[in-house]
Amino acid sequence: MSQIRDNKLLQKIAIVIKELRDDKGVSQEEVYNDINIHIGRIETAKANLSVSTLSALCKYFKISLSEFHKKVETL
């Protein structure tokens, strides 16, 4: 079974993740050190991230999944 890839959606997710990281004032390396998730490929929309990874990122940035999705939808 092949993976479905929505490039426009991944680009929107990338923008929101980068904004959240910038708002928190942390580098990609700090995120990796804190929660062991390499977000470089996520922020460049090269990774098709899992729901579990997205959930972990939302917890790290202290935002609910529904709030995250609202941010994505407004782009």
d(CA 48, CA 30): 21
Q: Under CATH, which number does the domain 7-68 receive?
A: 1.10.260.40
The pLDDT of residue 1 is: 63
pTM (predicted TM-score):
0.91
CB atoms within 10 A of CB 48: 16
pLDDT digits (tens, 9 = 90+) for 1-54: 678 899 999 999 999 999 999 999 999 999 999 999 999 999 999 999 999 999
Select from 46, 21, 23 the least CA-distant residue to 34: 21
Domain range list for the chain:
7-68
Q: Tell me the backbone φ, ψ of residue 24, rounded to 5 degrees.
A: -80, -15
**Helices within 1-75 (DSSP H only):** 7-24, 28-35, 40-43, 51-60, 65-73
